[in-house]
Amino acid sequence: MVKERDLIRWIAGRAPDVGDDCAVLDCEPWGTLLVTTDSVIDGVHARWTTDGPAAFGYKAVARGLSDVAAMGGEPLWAVVAACLPPGATEAEAHALYEGAERAGCRLVGGDTAFGPTAYVTATVLGRAHAQGPVLRSGAQAGDTLVVTGALGGSLTSGRHLTFQPRVAEARALVEHGVHAMIDLSDGLSTDLAHLLEASGVGARVEAALVPCHGTLPQALHDGEDYELLAAVPPGTLPPGAIRIGTIVDGEGAVLVHEDGAEDPLRPGGYEHGA
C-alpha cells in the first residue's frame, strides 16, 4: 500500500513549487502566494451523521488556515468543493457552507456535487510574510523548541473539529524571528521528525515541559492538535509559545524524562496509508 510520506516525496520531485505546508508561488510584484488544499472525508476525518455538516465545512477550511499559519502567512481566501451524500437536505448544505465561513476566511468560490459519500475539499490561499515564508528547514542547533498549546486527545475530546488555527500566534513567532515551523496534524513525534529531517538537525524534548491534554503518550503521538511547533532563536519565547526542548546537532529526537533517563523519540503519530 502506498504511504502518504512516500507519495509526497514523489510528487515534490516532479513539482518544484511544492513547499512544506503550502505551495509557494512567486507572484511579484504582488508578493509570494501560499496555496494549500485539505479534504474532510466522511468516516475518516469526521462523521456526517453525528458531527454534522457544519463540522465538515469548518474543519476543511480551518486545516488550510493552519497550514498557512505554519508558514508564517496571512490567510486571504478560501475555495470550497463539497460532495453531498444521498438524501442531503437544503438545511444540511447551508450548514456546511456556514461552518466553512465560521473558520474565519473569506469564501470566494467552489463547487457542489452529489455522490455516494460526503466529503469537503477546501483550498486556502494566503500571503507570505514580507521576509518570506517560514519553512521547516531553518532550525539551527541551540534554537529553542516551542509549541503553541497543549497536545493529545483531540479525537476523543472532539477538539479536532473545533480547533482554532494559530494565525495570531504564528504572527508573533514571525515577529520574534522564528527559524522553522510546522503545524501538528500527525502528532508531535511525527511532525517533529519532519522538521528535523528538513533542517538536518536533532532535538532534545523534555517530557516534563510538554503540555498535555491527558497522558504524555497521547501528547506525543495522537495528532489532530493543529498547534504549531517551531524553532526560535535561543533565549526567545514569543507570546503564546511554550518551551518543550532544544534543537541540537545530530539527527533524530531524544525524549528526556524527569529522572534524567533518555529514550529515542521515534515517529509514532498518524500516517496515511500505513
Q: What pLDDT tens digit does each residue of the chain (274 aa) get? A: 777 777 777 877 777 665 678 989 988 877 899 999 999 999 999 999 999 999 999 999 999 999 999 999 999 999 999 999 999 999 999 999 999 999 999 999 999 999 999 999 999 999 999 889 999 999 999 999 999 999 999 999 999 999 999 999 999 999 999 999 999 999 999 999 999 999 999 999 999 999 999 899 999 999 999 999 999 999 999 999 999 999 999 999 999 999 999 999 999 865 544 4
Backbone angles phi, psi at 27, to 5 degrees: -120, 40
Residues 187, 270 contacting (CB under 8 angstroms): yes
Cβ atoms within 10 Å, residue 8 = 13
How distant, in Å, are the alpha carbons of 131, 135, 218 from that of 191?
24, 13, 14
Q: What's at 160, amino acid-wise?
A: H
Q: Which residues pair with 246 in a beta bridge?
A: 144, 204
At the top level of CATH, the class of 22-127 is: alpha beta
In Å, how far from its chain's centre is CA 111?
Answer: 24
Name the nearest CA neighbour of 227 among 144, 153, 130, 137: 153
Residue 236 CB contacts under 8 Å (≥ 6 apart), including other chains: 144, 176, 177
The architecture (CATH level 2) of 136-265 comes to Alpha-Beta Complex (3.90)
Mean pLDDT for the chain? 93
CATH 3.30.1330.10 domain residues, the chain: 22-127
Q: What residue spans in the chain does CATH classification 3.90.650.10 cover?
A: 136-265
Q: Provide the whole-model pTM.
A: 0.93
CA 94 – CA 86 distance, rounded (Å):
16
d(CA 117, CA 41): 8
Contact between 91 and 130 under an 8 Å Cβ cutoff? The reply is no
- CA–CA separation, 20 vs 228, rounded Å? 14
Q: What pLDDT score does 18 carry? A: 59
Quote the pLDDT of residue 17: 60
The amino acid occupying position 63 is R
* Peptide bond just before 29 cis, omega within 30 deg: yes
Specify the pLDDT at position 272: 47
What kind and span of H or E run contains 68? helix 53-70
Terminal CA-CA length for the chain? 7
For 234, residues 6+ apart whose C-beta sits below 8 A from its C-beta are 142, 143, 144
Residues 86-106: tens digit of each pLDDT = 999 999 999 999 999 999 999
How high is the pLDDT of residue 142?
Answer: 98
For position 274, what pLDDT does the model report? 44
Residue 273 confidence (pLDDT): 46
